[in-house]
Structure 1
Amino acid sequence: MVAELPNVELDNQSSFRLVNSKFPTITLFDDVIDAEDFDTAYALQALTNPRILNQLGDLNLLPKEEIPFGINGVNYATAPFTHVNKDGSRFSDGSFGMLYLADTVETAIAETRYHQEKYFRNIKDLNYDTVDMRCLSVKFSACLCDASGVEEYHHPDDYSAARLLGASVMKRNYPGVQYSSVRNEGATCWGLMSPRYVSSAVQTQHFEFMFDGERITKVRELRIPS
């Protein structure tokens, strides 16, 4: 399966990701420069901060050698791997995390809008709601499997074939997958299997998504005081 796909080499690739602003940043990762320092800082904070485990997630899911200590925004790079979505995603069945990235802010909004709208619709009797998202500008370098030309991996709602590919990529310890955006025609997305390929993840804009009971009717950029 993976062996049949071409590879694409990306160097210092620019990408974007939207994350829910209600989730606080995991500053402990940013406070240290290597795994040894992290162990010491974690032990100290665990004595005084009872929420540290919830903030960091399940550290057993991510070997410390995979954490890119010292980069800008290491907390953003690691979060998808320690706070794994148990419901899964396009290329994951929920047993492992992936860092999903988009080629432009517009693509990141389109991808996030679809999934947030689906979430809102599953809330009974919800007539109106808003959610704030922070945009991340992410740089990464990796040699990825290029699945962008394979139709079966791009079904709008059926992720079964894509998850088989993701499991194969994970088993072979490949860095990740390049694929076509299903929510923004002609755009490109990436799914990374580890945060170690990320060289920076910097917060940029904030956006507000507005849901009218049926769909997200408006996405507007928020002006956050500095």
Structure 2
Amino acid sequence: MELYAGVASPEDWDAIKRIEASTNPRLRKGVLLPEDEGRVEQHWLVAPFAYPDPEPSAYGDGSFGFSIVAETLHSALLLAIARREIFLRRTAEGPCRLVMRVIKVPLKAAFTDLTDLKTDDPTLRTRIAELRANKSYGVLVRGPRGAGNPLAVVLRPTAFVPPAAQTEHFCFLWNGERIHKLFSLPAETKVIVPEDLLKSESDTAA
């Protein structure tokens, strides 16, 4: 069924689609490199590049988008916990639960290894910007569990091998100060303490 079926007459659909194409960053021309345009149909994979986080980070100055992919589920959860905690502290959120989903997608591209650089080294951001300007697919950086369990900072969505698939859902428990526990949905049978994710081993890709 057409997305617009409930809000517009069929004779208006073409006009609405043209409006969406000119206003939706994920569909707008120029978001991706010319050689990447039209090659990635799954919007999940394009969104991080179409909606760049304007706030500078260890991996960029806020002027371009990128996607961070963890090699293991443990690292993916640690990364998600860290990012959610920053947001919740800023908004002074009271105790609550957050439902987070795992998106799994393979990568197939040449990545530059920058795991020798620490996350707080300003050289890291400079090197990533240079590589992006040279149309690099991305870089490997140190993950939450060290250089031996890296993260991939993906700079071009054509590095992905779609389709991306939704897998597990996790519930994060925020106590007003930190995410102190989490568990896999739908059952609250095995509660995980974030500190344990740093110590335990896992070969589960995420």
Q: Which TM-score band applies after superposition, normalised by the shorter structure? A: 0.7 to 0.9
Where 1:142 maps in the other structure, the secondary structure is: coil
Rounded to whole Å, the distance in 1 between the matches of 2:183 and 2:23 is 33
Aligned match of 1:218: 181
- The secondary structure found in structure 1 opposite 2:131 is helix
Q: Please provide the CA RMSD for this pair.
A: 2.9
* CA deviation profile, 1:8-49 (whole Å, cap 9, x unmatched): xxxxxxxxxxxxxxxxxxxx9xxxxxxxxxxxx9864255x7
Query: Partner of 1:190 in structure 2?
Result: 152
* Corresponding residue SS for 2:108: strand
8 Å CA contact retained: 1:133, 1:206? yes
| 1:154 alignment counterpart | 118
Q: Which has the higher contact order (CA 8 A, sep 6+)?
A: 1
Cα distance, 1:147–1:70 mapped onto 2, change above 3 Å: closer
AA paired with 1:61? V
Q: How does 1:24-173 map to 2 (within 5 A)?
A: 44-46=16-18, 53=23, 56=26, 60-63=30-33, 65-67=35-37, 69=39, 74-124=42-92, 126-148=93-115, 150=116, 153-155=117-119, 158=120, 160-173=122-135
Quick check: 1:176–1:193 contact (8 Å CA) kept in 2?
A: yes
Contact 2:25 2:31 in 1 (8 A): no
Q: Distance in 2 between matches of 1:197 and 1:43?
A: 33
Cα gap change, 1:43 to 1:163, in 2 (>3 Å): farther
Structure with a larger share of its residues in strand:
1
For the Cα contact (< 8 Å) 2:99–2:171, is it kept in 1?
yes
Deviation at 1:159, TM superposition (A): 5.7
User: Contact between 2:29 and 2:37, CA under 8 Å: does it hold in 1?
Assistant: no
Relative to 1, partners in 2 of residues 1:101 and 1:132: Cα closer, same or farther, differing over 3 Å? same
- How far off is 1:130 after superposition? 2.4
Distance 2:59 2:142 in 1: 13
Contact residue 57 and residue 83 of structure 1 kept, 8 A:
no
Displacement of 1:108 in angstroms is: 0.4
C-alpha distance in structure 1 between counterparts of 2:71 and 2:50, whole Å: 24
Structure 1 unmatched runs, 5+: 1-27, 29-40
Contact 1:61 1:82 in 2 (8 A): yes
**2:97–2:173: 8 Å Cα contact kept in structure 1?**
yes
State the distance in 2 between where 1:175 and 1:54 align.
Answer: 24
**TM-score, normalised with respect to structure 1:** 0.67
User: In the aligned structure 2, how far is the partner of 1:211 from the partner of 1:91?
Assistant: 26
Contact 1:211–1:217 under 8 Å retained in 2: yes
Task: Give 1:70 shift.
Answer: 6.4
**More displaced 10-residue stretch of structure 1: 60-69 or 91-100:** 60-69
Q: Could you tell me how far apart the structure 2 residues matched to 1:166 and 1:99 are?
A: 13
Q: Between Structure 1 and Structure 2, whose CA radius of gyration is higher?
A: 2
Q: Structure 1 residues 219 and 105, CA, compared in 2 at 3 Å: closer, same or farther?
A: same
Aligned residues: 174
TM-score of the pair, normalised by structure 2: 0.73
